[in-house]
Amino acid sequence: AGGRSLAHCRLVDVASASNFHSFKLRHFHLDLHLNFAVKRITGWQVLELTPVQPGVQSLILDTHSSLLIHSVDCKVPGASGAPDVFLSLTYRIEPFTDYGSSLNISLPAAVIRPHRAFRVTIRYTTTDGPAIWWLDAELTCGQTRPLVFTQGHSVCNRSFFPCFDTPAVKSTYSATVRVPEGVTVLMSASRSAYSKQDRVFQFSMEYPVPAYLVALVAGDLQHADIGPRSRVWAEPCILTCAVSKLGGNVERWLNVAEGLFGPYVWGRYDIVFLPPSFPIVAMENPCLTFIISSILESQEFLLIDVIHEIAHGWFGNAVTNATWEEMWLSEGLATYAQRRITTEAYGEAFTCLETVFRLDALHRQMRLLGDNNPVSKLQAKFEPGVNPSSLMNLFTYEKGFCFVSYLSQLCGDIKRFDSFLRAYIEKFRFSSVIAQDLLDFFLGFFPELKESCVAQREGLEFERWLNGCGPPLCEPDLSAGRALTGPVQHLCDHWGVDAPDPQVISTFDLSSWSTFQTVLFLDRLLDRSPLSQGIKGIVHPKMKISPLFTHPKAILGIHSFFQMNPIRVI
């Protein structure tokens, strides 16, 4: 049910050293043994490939200097019923960038037959690469047993296994993982089998995914079901808290999303909470969202981030940006979808409050970077050698969201735009796309808009949205959130004057404020720094305040956490 294939397109991905255009990757299998004592993974990978171009003499994969390649073998089906042929292949590793190398495997003529499949087996050992995080027991939440997890976004998984490390290539995969006693393994796939005696876990992902969405976590993990297709995984010491925070909400959110965008195709939607050393807030690995345990401190931020990762089940995982230069195709659409879900589930005012908070952060980043900084482009061009992760910023999310909101505004009816998004997912499911695919499909879905030349509307040209620097060309109407954002701004206005009146400030009831209102207030207050008086000096004894304002560590903690994590990678 996918859209067009990119296999024959001359799409350029400067972050990949591979010759992914030359082959169709149908499937790959990982057979891994996790050694916690030496912090290494040993095993092999089998790739099922078919040449799609004539004259190919080598297979080039992305790898990393931390991967120790031991051997490369090939299995070629025999002709006319003859036995399969096994060949040992020569290879060389060449430098590429500071975040990766290339594995160049020579392919003899007996292997390369147009459109005839063959298998390559690579035996290797991981060492200290950027994708794999080994945590000693004292760095985990429970501080009793070690834990390991992987993080593939954007181009880290080439240090986990050799691959076509580009979002343009998708394939199914399977895995067999061997671990010591007392260790549970989870992956971004369905568990297909488990042998308790041998401590062997087997997994299968039946839908095509890009390499960066292959993920693994192993350690002292327990689970609790929170819905018919969802469970929470965590270390025992935080499992009860995680379950109580999520309750039965996940199934509710999934149902709302399905009503908007069509069926959730990944089967399970499980969540694993990882120690605070997890390098990002959350990651939308299929079947299994990875999320930092620190998020449990805030019910509202937990809600938003889980819903955002749910939205990625459609936007990012099912339909993926073909290059890292257009990450907004995943993040901007997922942010829009997240806000459609929260609007349906919690009302427009709540969604507007969260959006105001994020757009405030976007404009704050804009002031720091300047209006002409090229990283503010939705189509962010980057030179060879630049790590795509360095392009992750709020523009990918919020400027992308504003563009999608503008498209919704053009069609005049949000429900019609919901129908468009469902059709877009149906058209391109399990494909990787570029911005032109989305926009061409949009104009084809709404021919009256194409006839009125909305793509060339002065000042709001699609090309300017994509390649213009600076803030969004327009922002959605957020006036529906004034009941929540108005008190925040009023208190900021009173608190920010040279001589704030404590009697006036005492009339504000902050005890009922939400986390988003509190953090929005702190952000806007600090935007006015330096303040005329300290916070403790201006708090009136009769003022009804949240505990956040009575504990300095709480103020600094929540503010610094969300300032350092303004985006939810992913």
Q: How many other CB atoms are found less than 10 A from the CB of residue 384?
A: 10
Backbone angles phi, psi at 24, to 5 degrees: -105, 115
pLDDT tens per residue, range 11-27: 899 999 999 999 999 99
Most distant pair of Cα atoms in the chain: their distance: 92
pLDDT tens per residue, range 44-98: 999 999 999 888 999 999 999 999 999 999 987 777 778 888 899 999 999 999 9
Minimal CA–CA distance to 206: which of 231, 170, 240, 169? 170
pTM score of the predicted model: 0.93
Q: In this predicted structure, what is the pLDDT of residue 85?
A: 80
Angle CA 261–263–268, to nearest 5: 120
Is residue 309 annotated as part of the catalytic site, yes or no? yes
Give the whole-angstrom CA distance, residue 271 versus residue 251: 12
Query: Is the model's pLDDT at 159 over the cut of 80?
Result: yes
Q: Architecture of domain 16-216 in CATH?
A: Sandwich (2.60)
Number of H helices and E strands in the chain, helices first, is: 16, 22
Among 235, 284, 309, 354, the active-site one is 309
Section 160-168 average pLDDT: 99
Give the whole-angstrom CA distance, residue 86 versus residue 88: 7
Query: Is the model's pLDDT at 184 over the cut of 50?
Result: yes
Angle CA 167–71–12, to nearest 5: 25
Residue numbering of the annotated binding site for Zn(2+) = 308, 312, 331
Q: In this predicted structure, what is the pLDDT of residue 497?
A: 76
Section 421-438 average pLDDT: 99
Edge-to-edge strand ranges of the sheet holding 91-97: 58-63, 100-106, 91-97
Give the whole-angstrom CA distance, residue 34 versus residue 207: 25
Q: Is the peptide bond before 472 cis (omega within 30 degrees of 0)?
A: no
pLDDT tens per residue, range 128-143: 999 999 999 999 999 9
Among 91, 336, 397, 406, the active-site one is 397
Whether residue 357 contacts residue 519, with contact meaning beta carbons closer than 8 Å, is answered with yes
74 SS3 class: strand
Ramachandran assignment for 475, one of left (phi > 0), alpha (psi -120 to 50 degrees), beta (any other): beta
116 SS3 class: coil
Section 398-422 average pLDDT: 98
Query: Is the model's pLDDT at 561 over the cut of 70?
Result: no
427 SS3 class: helix
CA–chain centroid gap for 440, Å, is 25
Q: In this predicted structure, what is the pLDDT of residue 564?
A: 41
Q: In this predicted structure, what is the pLDDT of residue 565?
A: 45
Query: Is the model's pLDDT at 2 over the cut of 50?
Result: no
Q: In this predicted structure, what is the pLDDT of residue 538?
A: 52
Query: Is the model's pLDDT at 549 over the cut of 70?
Result: no
* Helix extents (H) in 166-298: 236-246, 249-261
Residue numbering of the annotated binding site = 308, 312, 331
Out of 1.20.200.10, 1.10.357.10, 3.30.540.10, 1.10.390.10, which CATH number does the structure's domain 319-467 have? 1.10.390.10
Is residue 336 annotated as part of the catalytic site, yes or no? no
pLDDT tens per residue, range 220-277: 999 999 999 999 999 999 999 999 999 899 999 999 999 999 999 999 999 999 999 9
Q: In this predicted structure, what is the pLDDT of residue 502?
A: 81
Domain extent listing, the chain: 16-216, 319-467, 479-564
